[in-house]
C-alpha cells in the first residue's frame, strides 16, 4: 500500500471538510492506494455522533463521498463532482470503535460519468455502510484552471498498515 500525496496541501484557502489537514472541524482523511482500490483508515470521535456513541449517518456519507472523489483524483488524474450518491446503512458504527477502514474503486465508466463503489468496515471487518457515487468528471484543462489540479502521486515507499 502506498500513501497518496495530497496535491492541495498548502494551497491557500484549502479547507475541505473531508481531506484538509488544516480544517479544525473536518474529518482529516488520508488516503492510500492498494491495487485498484483507494483506502482510508479513520478513527471515529464522539463529536461526530448522531445518537449516543453512534457515528452520525451524515459523517458516514462524508467519508464515503470523499473517498470516491479520491478514486477519481488518483485513478483518473482529474477532478469532478458527485452528481448522485446512493447509500445503504447496514450496521451502526460506534464512535468508540478503534478505527474504520473505508475502501473504494471504480465500478463502471461511460465517458466522463464514473460509478464508484465505497464501503465502510468497522474494526471487526464488518460491512457497516455502502455507497455508489455517480461522478461527473471534468476535463484535464478545467481541473487545472478551476481546481488547481495537475496530478496526484503516491509516496515511493510501501506502507504496511497493521490495525
Domain that holds residue 9: 2-149
What is the tally of structural domains in the chain? Answer: 1
Which residue, chain included where needed, has cell 466522463? 112
pLDDT in tens, 46-79: 999 999 999 999 999 999 999 999 999 999 999 9
Joined grid coordinates for residue 45: 470521535
Neighbour-count burial for 57-69, b at 16+ CB within 10 Å, e otherwise: eebbbbbbbbbbb
pTM exceeds 0.85 for this model = yes
52 in a structural domain: yes
pLDDT in tens, 142-157: 999 999 999 999 998 7
161 in a structural domain: no
| Distances in whole angstroms, Cα of residue 72 to Cα of each of 11, 109, 126 | 20, 11, 25
66 in a structural domain: yes
Amino acid at each position: 500500500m502506498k500513501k497518496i500525496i495530497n496535491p492541495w496541501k498548502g494551497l491557500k484557502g484549502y479547507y475541505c471538510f473531508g481531506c484538509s489537514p488544516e480544517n479544525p472541524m473536518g474529518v482529516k482523511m488520508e488516503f492510500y492506494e492498494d491495487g485498484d482500490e483507494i483506502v482510508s483508515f479513520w478513527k471515529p470521535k464522539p463529536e461526530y455522533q448522531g445518537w449516543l456513541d453512534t457515528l452520525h449517518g451524515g459523517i458516514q456519507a462524508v467519508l464515503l463521498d470523499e473517498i470516491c472523489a479520491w478514486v477519481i483524483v488518483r485513478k483518473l488524474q482529474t477532478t469532478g463532482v458527485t452528481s448522485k450518491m446512493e447509500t445503504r446503512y447496514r450496521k451502526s458504527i460506534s464512535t468508540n470503535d478503534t478505527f474504520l477502514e473505508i475502501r473504494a474503486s471504480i465500478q463502471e465508466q461511460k465517458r466522463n460519468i464514473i460509478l464508484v463503489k465505497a464501503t465502510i468496515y468497522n474494526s471487526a471487518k464488518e460491512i457497516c455502510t455502502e455507497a455508489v457515487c455517480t461522478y461527473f468528471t471534468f476535463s484535464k484543462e478545467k481541473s487545472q484552471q478551476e481546481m488547481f489540479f495537475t496530478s496526484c502521486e503516491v509516496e515511493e515507499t510501501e506502507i504496511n498498515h497493521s490495525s
